[in-house]
Structure 1
Amino acid sequence: MTPPLPLVARGGGGTLAGSLWLPDGPARALVLMHPGSGPSDRDNDAFFPPVRGALLAAGAAVASYDKRGVGGSEGSWLTTAIPDQADDAAAGLRVARTALGAAGGGIGGAAVPTVLFGHSQGGWVVLEAASRADVAGVVTSSGPAVTPGDQERFSTATAVRRAGWADADEALAVFDGLMALAERGAAYDEARAWSGVSERRDVLDRLAALGAFVPGSREVWELATLLVGHDPQDALRRLRVPLLAVFGDDDGVVPVERSVAALRGLVPPRLLDVAVLAGGDHRLQSVDGRFVPGYPDVVVDFVRRVAGAP
């Protein structure tokens, strides 16, 4: 396989470092992959490479970037809201298109259709980015169609109930109060004082140990206030290109049924494809750590279709 070409784009936090992978023959499409939450790099840990490999085998070029402050990118992911990430994705796409054109582009050197792909938090990002760039389609992979605050409530409730907590309702009421503070933009000192009340502190410590999103520092709290109130509904209403939304039916992180209902209520049926894959978790994997049947094939088929490729 040809080594990837280095990409350098200018984002809101400084330079963004990425890569462009080229298929063996002329590219039939360009897919920009945006990673999920936290300090994610251009590989989104180990999640992107096998999806990227399937796209390359199907004749698509693939680009992705390290998030701000990760790998070779400047800035800080801890101060980057979802609209800011969408701006970064759009800036990265412009550079990737130019690099693909310099490398020969598509068949006969022609420009090729572009598809945005976002996993998890990246799903919110690419929906926003779709209105900032000329694209042929969008893929959200385990991308919630609810706010991050509601997604975190669902994720925490699922974890607590699976753990069999006897005081589940009381614990979830405390977590809901924490999310409500973040949603109204409460200052860190206020949140710290609220969380420091003994009965709340005990519950929040137990939730954090279970893996719930309980901000423990000023910078993480301030990130939470940037993220949790983001509502994808406006981006979904503005969407004018085909959208593929892929979920696993065993995803304990994303409220799949609520997300599907929101998508069907906001996106015209002619633009929407929804795939809920049996046995898939948040990474579309089964208990053995392998992708469930149908993934990433459904992504490849969608890219082929919107690119007009056989």
Structure 2
Amino acid sequence: MTAPLPLVARGGAGALAGSLWLPGGAPRALVLMHPGSGPSDRDNDVFFPPIRAALLAAGAAVASYDKRGVGESEGSWLTADIADQADDAAAGLRAARTALAGVPGEGGTGRDVPVVLFGHSQGGWVVLEAAARPDLRDDVAGVATSSGPAVTPGAQERFSTATLLRRAGRSGADAERALAVFDGLMALAERGASFDEARAWSEEPGRRAALDGLAELGAFVPGAPEVWGLATRIVGHDPVHALRSLDAPLLAVFGGDDGVVPVERSVAVLRGTVGAGLLDVAVLAGGDRRLQDADDAFVPGYPDVVVDFVRRVAADA
């Protein structure tokens, strides 16, 4: 495999550093991969490289970027909500298109190949938001989400917290009390409460112990002003508007054993929202949020289902 080409995009908070990987022959498609939550880089730690390798083997060019403030990118990921990240994805796509302009393609240059946006986890909300924008709608031939919830981040975190409690063996009144406190915290974030207000609320009798216990289990309990500030701008994001606006084919892939994303509810929202003939849902048995099994290997069918989708989109474009 040849070395990737360096990319620099002008995002909303400065320069975004990324890479463009080219297949062995003329590219048949361009896949822009957007990572999940937190300080994720262009590889989404170790998750993207094997998916990227499969896409390259199928003849697709692949681009991805370090999020704001990660790796070589400027800014801070703590300032970027879903809409901001969609801006960055759009900027990244423009930079990748420009880089492909000098690459020979089938019937023209690589700049002319169809585009598929791929987003994992939080990145699923991002690529849906980007694809629904008027300035990108004519440039996006397909969208693929990997464990991308079709509910708000607040609803997703409530589901994830309930899963953590259940798997920890907590049930009945004890679990209900903990979930009630977590619901209260999410409600504060959804209405944009300040960090000081949320901290004062959290210190009320019975709440601090419940939140500390949830944090120990791995629940999302923001403990710093910057993280709380980001939470207030993200938790209420509803992907339904973007889903209704989408006019490109959508592949939504989920793991059947995902305890973080409410798969059944997400599938119901997708089937009730996405335009007729555009939706393809794949729920892969045994897969967790990373579509992996207990041995951290991809479950059967992944990433093949993504590669097949990109091939179909490229063939139909």
TM-score when normalising by structure 1: 0.98
Structure 1 residue aligned with 2:115:
114
Same amino acid, percent of matched pairs? 78
Structure 2 residue aligned with 1:301:
308
Is the Cα contact below 8 Å between 1:4 and 1:21 reproduced in 2? yes
CA distance in structure 2 between the aligned counterparts of 1:177 and 1:131, rounded to whole angstroms = 32
Deviates more, 1:104-113 or 1:47-56: 104-113
CA distance in structure 1 between the aligned counterparts of 2:108 and 2:15, rounded to whole angstroms = 31
CA distance in structure 2 between the aligned counterparts of 1:214 and 1:105, rounded to whole angstroms = 48
Structure 2 residue aligned with 1:4:
4
Is the Cα contact below 8 Å between 1:35 and 1:118 reproduced in 2? yes
* Aligned-partner residue type, residue 169 of structure 2: G
5+ unaligned residues in a row in structure 2: which ranges? none
CA distance in structure 2 between the aligned counterparts of 1:275 and 1:246, rounded to whole angstroms = 5
Alignment of 1:47-86 (within 5 A): 47-86=47-86
Secondary structure at 1:198's aligned position in 2? coil
Secondary structure at 2:101's aligned position in 1? helix
CA distance in structure 1 between the aligned counterparts of 2:313 and 2:27, rounded to whole angstroms = 14
Displacement, 1:142? 0.1
Is the Cα contact below 8 Å between 1:28 and 1:107 reproduced in 2? no
Cα deviations by residue, 1:28-79 (Å, 9 ceiling, x for unpaired) = 0000000000000000010000000000000000000000000010011001
Structure 1 residue aligned with 2:181:
174
CA distance in structure 1 between the aligned counterparts of 2:104 and 2:18, rounded to whole angstroms = 19
Structure 1 residue aligned with 2:223:
216
Deviant stretches of 4+, over 2 Å: 103-110
Displacement, 1:107? 5.0
* Number of residue pairs the alignment of both structures matches: 310
Displacement, 1:273? 0.2
Structure 2 residue aligned with 1:37:
37
Structure 2 residue aligned with 1:205:
212
Structure 2 residue aligned with 1:129:
130
Displacement, 1:138? 0.1
* Aligned-partner residue type, residue 129 of structure 2: E
* Aligned-partner residue type, residue 274 of structure 1: V
TM-score when normalising by structure 2: 0.96
1:152 matched to 2:157: yes
Displacement, 1:98? 0.9
Secondary structure at 1:9's aligned position in 2? strand
Displacement, 1:198? 3.2
Is the Cα contact below 8 Å between 1:29 and 1:106 reproduced in 2? no
CA distance in structure 2 between the aligned counterparts of 1:212 and 1:107, rounded to whole angstroms = 51
Displacement, 1:165? 1.6
CA RMSD of aligned residues (A): 1.2
5+ unaligned residues in a row in structure 1: which ranges? none
